[in-house]
Amino acid sequence: MSDRAGRAKPRSAEVAGSLLGHQTWRVDRATRRWSVRRSLTPERLLVLSFAGLILLATVGFRVLPGLYVGEPLSWLDSLFTATSAVCVTGLIVVDTATHFTVFGQAYILLLIQLGGLGIITLTTAVILALGRHLSLHHEAVTATTAEVAPEVDFRRLVRSVVQFTLAFEAVGAVVLFAVWLPRFDPGPAAWHALFQTVSAFCNAGFSTFSDSLAGFRASPLALGPIMALIVLGGLGFIALEDVHVWWSRRRQGNRVRLSLHSRLVLTVTALLLVGGWIGFATLEWRNTLAGMPSWQRLMNALFMSVTARTAGFNTVDHALAADSTNFVTILLMSIGGSPGSAAGGLKTTTLAAIGLLAIARLRGGAVVNAWGRTIPEDTIQRAIGLFAIGFTVVTGAILLYAVTQLQPRTGTSSLGFLHYMFEAVSAFNTVGLSMGATGALDGFGKALTILLMYLGRVGPLAIAAALSIQSPAGGKGFRYGYEDVIIG
């Protein structure tokens, strides 16, 4: 019996050790999972979400049947088209209208819609639609909304993202269908209307017409709704929701004010639209707009101003426009739309912050003020950092284009430096306009354009935050001694 007891004791110790080891393994696994969740910041989730969708879309272009009228796209061209669609850019290596079937165009339209809404926003909206509560991790994605627009409930905001999108796109599609019904059969009219509407609201610039919208340059009923969709899609969902709340409460007799964010978005957008309109009308009146009646010239000049800020549609050939006109287009493309929108670019609020900073410094002010409010110093620093990063990326890309793509001029058919500068700015700011350089890119040029479109969509600061290494806790608050330098 003692032998049995002696044998049982090691067996019990073995079982206990096994249980302890299993429990330790479970604790280690839970710790690793928690560590992964903590390291998956909203910025990194944004970067990985778009990268994942682009890769899936690229595979889809290669394996899905019935997408093409002719030969399928190569892997590189598939990646280029997938990136352009998901990043709502609009640069194309093949004609969307003739190279793809209706099913292929529908596939591109799906990618545009997903990219326009944003993977994180769409996921959050689905969670709320199912009646589930947001986790703290999901709340971090939209936490900044409460700081810039205190009247906006972020839970309602993520619902409004989908509601605003579907409502505006439905109205736009119906209007364009009515406009184009006399010109096309009901089926094609409905498809053209739906595709152009989604592409316009998402600021994508893809079109089911080979000449984009040049065939409708004399149709205000067609260009008007598209311009409205582009502007609304570029204002940003935060500003749209803030205006909606402001209007609703004003109608109820409540005294409320628009947030500073929304005021800056609306003001800068209006100034850019009017300024670009005047500039394009002046510069192109006797060039690409020549031969039109005066009202058509004014309408197309306004369309050029609207679409240059990341939409990508065109009614005139920018390769035939004056260099001064294309330089103005480059400036507008660089500014882009507003935060929280499908548009790319530096953003209207970033431009406003830097401009207000310059005015404050010229007046000798220590802080940046607007409409009786002071913009925090951290926000000003982020605006300057975003400008510096964007300028650096675009400048480096222009240099790479010039070194690898620009060939010595052999006649009027050769592309010049401005063509590739235009291409780099258009790609990084997800605009989609081109002076003809896209079709002339070699493999390296296409890869560079893909990288620019991706970086421009997810944002330079998101990339920097996603790749940053967390500083140790002991390093918080540490700094070296101050020492000034001379500026200017």
> Mean pLDDT in the chain?
84
For residue 118, what pLDDT band results from cuts at 50, 70 and 90? confident
For residue 151, what pLDDT band results from cuts at 50, 70 and 90? low
408-443 as b/e: b if 16+ CB within 10 A: eeeeeeebeeebbbbbbbbbbbbbbbbbebbebbee
Higher pLDDT, 474 or 216: 216
Quote the strand ranges of 61-191, DSSP E.
Answer: none
Contact 175, 225 (CB under 8 A): yes
**pLDDT, tens only, 309-323:** 889 899 999 999 999
DSSP assignments along 386-406, one per residue: HHHHHHHHHHHHHHHHHHHT-
- Note the pLDDT of residue 18: 57
CA–CA distance, 91 with 449 (Å, rounded to integer): 9
Nearest residue to 50 via CA among 109, 121, 98: 121
Question: What residue type is 379 in one-letter code?
Answer: T
DSSP assignments along 404-426, one per residue: HT-----STTS--HHHHHHHHHH
pTM, to two decimals = 0.85
CA–CA distance, 62 with 82 (Å, rounded to integer): 11
269-292 as b/e: b if 16+ CB within 10 A: beebbeebbebbbebbeeebbeeb
pLDDT of 252 strictly over 60: yes
Average the pLDDT over 116-121 and give the result.
72
SS3 147: helix
Whole-Å CA distances, 106 to 87, 90, 96, 459:
16, 15, 11, 27
- Note the pLDDT of residue 2: 47
Q: How far apart are the first and last CA of the chain?
A: 95
Contact 448, 464 (CB under 8 A): no
The per-type count for the chain, helices as H runs and strands as E runs, is: 20, 2
Least confident span in 26-40, 135-149, 274-288: 135-149
Q: Please tell me what DSSP assigns to residue 471.
A: P
340-367 as b/e: b if 16+ CB within 10 A: bbbbbbbbbbbbbbbebbeebeeeeeee
Higher pLDDT, 1 or 73: 73
Q: Please tell me what DSSP assigns to residue 257.
A: -
pLDDT of 35 strictly over 60: no
**pLDDT, tens only, 203-244:** 999 999 999 999 999 999 999 999 999 999 999 888 888 888
SS3 473: helix
**Domain chopping of the chain, boundaries:** 39-466
